[in-house]
Structure 1
C-alpha cells in the first residue's frame, strides 16, 4: 500500500509514518509539504490513498482536492483541524471520500484507510477498451501495444483513453483540457502539446512522423485505428 500525505506539519508527518510503519509494515508513506507538490506527486507516484490537509502554505486544500479530482479517482481522506459542518460538506461535495478532524485517533485513522482501500479493490476500474493493437491493462498507466507494455503517467493514460474511446474522431483541445485540469485556459494547448509529444515518443515508431496520434489543426487530436 502506498499512501501520500499532503501536509506541512512535520510532527503530523512523523506520527502518520510511525502509525503505518508499525501497523502496516509493507506500506510506504510519501509526503508533500505543499499543495502543488502534492498534486505532482499524485500524478507521478500514483498512490493508493491520499491524506490531505486543508491548511497548506501555498494553496487552499479544497483547490488541491479539486485539481486532483480532474485526473485521479484515488481515495482521499481530508485530515484537518477545520471541523465546521460547512467545511465537511464542502470537502465531501468536492470529491473527498472521508473527513477526519485533528487531533485524530490512530486506530480510527487506520480503520478508515483500510475501509477505503477494501472498497477500491472491490469496485475496481473497468478499462476494457481496444483500439487496433492497443489496449489497457489493469491500470490507466498500463497501455499494451502489440503485446508490449508501455508505462504512462496518469495524465497520458487519461488522454489516450479518451482518444481510444473516440478513435478516428477529433477530440477537441477544450475536451482534453477539461479532462486534465477541469477547465480550458489560455496555456492549455501548449501544455497539451507537451503531453502529446511525450505520448508520441512512447507509442509511435517515429515520433516526428506520427501515424497514430494525429493533429487536427486548430481543433484537437485524433487517434487513428491501425491494425
Structure 2
C-alpha cells in the first residue's frame, strides 16, 4: 500500500480521486490548496504526490519548490490540456510525469503505478540494458550488439541523463541546463540535432525510435 497525497481545489474531483485511489488499495491524504499540501506532506510523509497545477493560493511549481528540498518521492502533476507550458515548467521544477485534464481514472492509476515503480528501481544500477544496446554508466561506455560505439561527450551527457530516468519524461529545459548549461535553456534545436545523432548510432530503426522518444513541445523519454 502506498500513501498518496492528492492536491486539488475541485471538491468533486478530490472526492472521486479519494474513492478511486482507496479502491485501488492506496492510503489517501487530501489537500485543497498549496499551503495545506505542504503541511500535509510534512505531517503524513506520503510515498507519492498527485498535484494539480491550478491551485487557488500557490502555483503548482511553487508547491514543487517547497517539496523538492526534502521530498524525494515521485510527483505526478495534473494540468489543463491547454497549459502545456505549465506542464513543462512543472517537469523542470522536479515533477516526474503529468496527466492532462480531463483524464480517465484508469490512465491516472496506470501513471501512478509507473512513477512508483520507476522510483523504486530508478537507475541506481550502473548498467542499463535494452534488446539492442547497453549503457555502462560507471565505465561511460555504450555497446550495440556487443560492439563498442563511440559517442561524443555531448552525446554521452544527453544519453546518460535520459537512461538515468527510465520511462520518465525529462523536460527540454532540464536537459539543456544539465548538458549545456543555464545559458542554453532555450536552444531546443540542440536537442533535436543530438537526439537524431544518438538514434542513428543506437536505434535499430532511427526513423521509428523504439527507445529514445520525443514528446513534442515537452521533452524526451527513454523507454528500455
TM-score (norm: length of structure 2): 0.52
Moved over 3 A (4+): none
- Give matches, 1:72-151, under 5 Å: 72-81=71-80, 83-123=82-122
The aligned residue for residue 48 of structure 1 is: 47
Q: How many residues align?
A: 123
For residues 8-37 of structure 1, what are the alpha-carbon distances to aligned partners after superposition, in whole Å with 9 as ceiling and x for unaligned?
Answer: 111011111121222x23x11110111111
Give the superposition deviation at 1:112: 0.6
Larger Rg: 1
CA distance in 2, matches of 1:122, 1:38: 26
Kept in 1: contact 2:51–2:78 (CA 8 A): yes
**Structure 2 residues without counterparts, runs of 5 or longer:** 125-224
Cross-structure match for 2:8: 7
Q: Which runs of 5 or more residues in structure 1 are unaligned?
A: 126-227
1:170 maps to none
Check 1:82–1:63 CA distance in 2 against 1; reply closer, same or farther (3 A cut).
farther
Q: Secondary structure at the match of 1:37?
A: helix
Q: The residue matched to 2:70 in structure 1 has which SS?
A: coil
**1:82 offset after TM fit, Å?**
5.2
Once the two structures are superposed, the pairs formed by residues 152-163 of structure 1 within 5 Å of their partners are none
Q: Residues 60 and 90 of structure 2 are in contact (CA less than 8 Å); yes or no, is this contact kept in structure 1? A: no
Deviation at 1:124, TM superposition (A): 9.0
Name the structure 2 match of 1:31: 30
Superposition TM-score, scaled by structure 1 size: 0.51
CA RMSD for the aligned pairs? 1.7
